[in-house]
Structure 1
Amino acid sequence: MRKVLIGAAAASALLAGCQEGSRQYADESVDVELMEAAPAAPVMDAAASAPAGPNSGAAPVVAPSIAPSIAYAYRFGLELPAEAATSLMAKHEQACIAAGPAACQVIGSNSRRVGRDSVEAHLEMRGTPAYVARFRAALDGEAKGAGGRVAEQAVESEDLTRQLVDTEARMRAMETLRDRLQQLLATRSGPLEQLLQVERELARVQGELDATRSALTVMRTRVQTSKLDVSYRAAGQLAPDSAARPVVDALNSASYAFMSSLGVLILFIASVLPVLLVGVPLIWLLWRWRRTERARKAAEAARKKKAEGEPSA
């Protein structure tokens, strides 16, 4: 009898707890529904996640292999005669345009000419691996054919595998959350404030999803195509390692020193000239006035002396 009473009391307490919990969940706001709409993190079974022992009889779980996603950037520096620098750059630019945007795209180009022999040009492109391979194979011959050489070349790489995997996983999770929010908005008939809150959350998730999709597209483009950065330089008719290079450097230094001194002299004259234009006439007027005053005083003294001397005569 005593055991029966204890069991009845326990059942009554359990029933009261369940009723209280049901009343509590009935009053939840849209925030809880938004949390329920979020994609749940995958939960692995403890038996599946545990490593297989030697006597377990289960085959070991092998993680799927992921091909590396590497973005390459190539940089080349060409030394050419002044006449060939811009022409070779135009040739490379036209070849990229003729290959089509699917194979090569011109990102930017510029050139600068100082005097007759100094030329600096720069071309930036993005091409597929096949186009980049053809460009690299023909570059040395084109530079020699134009009378120059490839003076600099470098390759830079960046592994984007982890960033791509993380971004794709984030985008899938956000797409799931967006779909659940859309379903919740379509099937819910609640207060207007709760519906507006769901719409705001849906707009925020959609904006983040678009930004993530754009970042993923940029990273895939960097992996599928490579960047080509080509510089064309022409420093004059004489080669940098010519025997007459010291003489040329000395003449350049002498001309620079002469022009620097001439510039300082011009600045000095420009600074002093206003003072001379104003000060010299003032000094001349002052000197003439003092001379006139001195002559007038001398004439008055002579007249006074003459007037004093006349009565005594």
Structure 2
Amino acid sequence: MRTRLMTVGGLALSAATAGCGQPREVAHNDEAVHMELVAPREGASDAATAPAAAAPASSNAAPPAAAVQAASIAYVYRYGLELPADRAPALMSRHEQACVSAGPAVCQVIGSQSSRYGRDELTARLEIRATPAFLTAFRARLAGDAEAAGGRVAMAATDSEDLTRALVDTEARMRALSTLRDRLQQLLATRSAPLEQLLATERELARVQGELDAARSTLEVMRTRVATSRLIIDYRAQGQLAPDSAFRPVSDALDSALTVFMSVVGALILFLAGALPLLIVVVPLAWLALRWRRRIRAERLAAKRAREAEAGDLNV
């Protein structure tokens, strides 16, 4: 039975090796990736190499052109807009509504957030994912929208990530897993074996199917990232009171004075809140103790005077 289990493991290893050419843990160098990109796919190899075989070998003959696969690149566009505080929310709402109106097949809102501090300071962010055609027109209007709202585009950046290698590796892994799954299914359908071997084969089949589903999901996510692009817009609004004026130090001093005044008032309130319970308990006790002490002193003084009076009477 151990020999049968080793046979199933050997079958899985051979199928994975035949599909990928090498284990997945081995890192691919740049040369290997380039060779895989220029290699023709499936039946295209015969059609591509047939002209080369028919052409006579000569030193002056030009080499045949290789079929090159276009790079799969995911783009992320980032923009920073500086706007007046009272117009930034309206412009952000317009941009979000433009994405929603285009439909989920063209544009989707990934997230939006807005934070306001005081009356003149605001930060907001809108993140969308859309098709390249929609984003091209949308980005072309950003500068005009910002100027119409009394602001400007303060930052623009483009980030890119080449997913070609990841797509090629994932597709090769899916082909290897599909081959292994088919062979395991054929093994279960055609062979009669002990129960333990059948259970081991079914567990291996379930594991391979799970890895295949995970690889398929990863491939779909990467294809979506390549087919669409992400756009992140940061809206900033920060009001300043006469930033270049000669009265700027005075305004700063007034703001600081108000802060110091309110801090002192807050400290006094905290002190009273902590001292009031003590005053309610300590003051009555101190008053009772003082009153008791005065009473004892008065009694002792009265007794002393009575003794002195009795002594005077005896002397007479």
* TM-score normalised by structure 1 residue count: 0.78
The answer to whether the 8 Å contact 2:79/2:233 transfers is: yes
The answer to whether the 8 Å contact 1:70/1:160 transfers is: yes
Distance 1:69-1:228 versus aligned 2 partners, 3 A rule = same
After superposition, the C-alpha distances for 1:79-123 in whole angstroms (9 at most, x for unaligned) are 222221111111111100011112110011122233333332221
Show the counterpart of 2:103: 100
SS in 2 for 1:151: strand
Q: Aligned equivalents of 2:163 and 2:250: distance in 1?
A: 51
Show the counterpart of 1:203: 206
Distance 1:278-1:150 versus aligned 2 partners, 3 A rule = farther
Q: 1:176 aligns with which of 158, 176, 179?
A: 179
Q: Aligned equivalents of 1:275 and 1:235: distance in 2?
A: 47
How many residues align structurally? 274
Once the two structures are aligned, what percentage of the paired residues are identical?
59
The answer to whether the 8 Å contact 1:105/1:127 transfers is: yes
Show the counterpart of 2:160: 157
Distance 1:156-1:246 versus aligned 2 partners, 3 A rule = farther
Show the counterpart of 2:280: 277
Alignment map for 1:235-250 (pairs within 5 Å): 235-236=238-239, 238=241, 242-243=244-245, 248-250=251-253
Residues 1:81 and 2:110 are matched in the alignment: no
Q: Offset at 1:257?
A: 3.3
Q: Offset at 1:174?
A: 0.8
Residues 1:114 and 2:127 are matched in the alignment: no
Q: Could you tell which deviates more after superposition, 295-304 or 230-239?
A: 230-239
The answer to whether the 8 Å contact 2:82/2:151 transfers is: yes
Q: Aligned equivalents of 1:205 and 1:147: distance in 2?
A: 58
Q: Aligned equivalents of 1:288 and 1:265: distance in 2?
A: 32
Q: Aligned equivalents of 1:131 and 1:81: distance in 2?
A: 27
Q: 1:41 aligns with which of 4, 15, 18?
A: 18
Aligned residue type for 1:219: M
Show the counterpart of 1:31: 6
* TM-score normalised by structure 2 residue count: 0.77
The answer to whether the 8 Å contact 2:120/2:239 transfers is: yes
Q: Aligned equivalents of 1:286 and 1:61: distance in 2?
A: 113
Q: Offset at 1:212?
A: 1.1
Distance 1:216-1:251 versus aligned 2 partners, 3 A rule = farther
Q: 2:189 aligns with which of 176, 186, 191?
A: 186
After superposition, the C-alpha distances for 1:134-154 in whole angstroms (9 at most, x for unaligned) are 121101111111122222222
The answer to whether the 8 Å contact 1:81/1:237 transfers is: no
The answer to whether the 8 Å contact 1:121/1:232 transfers is: yes
Q: Aligned equivalents of 2:189 and 2:89: distance in 1?
A: 62
The answer to whether the 8 Å contact 1:34/1:181 transfers is: no
Distance 1:251-1:135 versus aligned 2 partners, 3 A rule = farther
- In structure 1, runs of 5+ residues without a counterpart are 1-25, 44-56
Q: Aligned equivalents of 1:27 and 1:307: distance in 2?
A: 123
Aligned residue type for 1:132: L
Show the counterpart of 2:72: 69
Distance 1:147-1:192 versus aligned 2 partners, 3 A rule = same
SS in 1 for 2:237: strand
Q: Could you tell which deviates more after superposition, 124-133 or 151-160?
A: 151-160
Q: Could you tell which deviates more after superposition, 208-217 or 265-274?
A: 265-274
Distance 1:185-1:69 versus aligned 2 partners, 3 A rule = same
The answer to whether the 8 Å contact 1:126/1:228 transfers is: yes
Q: Aligned equivalents of 1:177 and 1:246: distance in 2?
A: 76
The answer to whether the 8 Å contact 2:18/2:176 transfers is: no
Q: Which has the larger radius of gyration?
A: 1
SS in 1 for 2:274: helix
The answer to whether the 8 Å contact 1:119/1:234 transfers is: yes
The answer to whether the 8 Å contact 1:174/1:209 transfers is: yes
- In structure 2, runs of 5+ residues without a counterpart are 22-56
Q: Aligned equivalents of 1:27 and 1:156: distance in 2?
A: 53
Q: Offset at 1:237?
A: 6.4
Output the aligned Cα RMSD.
Answer: 2.7
Q: Aligned equivalents of 1:105 and 1:112: distance in 2?
A: 22
Show the counterpart of 1:213: 216
Q: Offset at 1:63?
A: 6.4
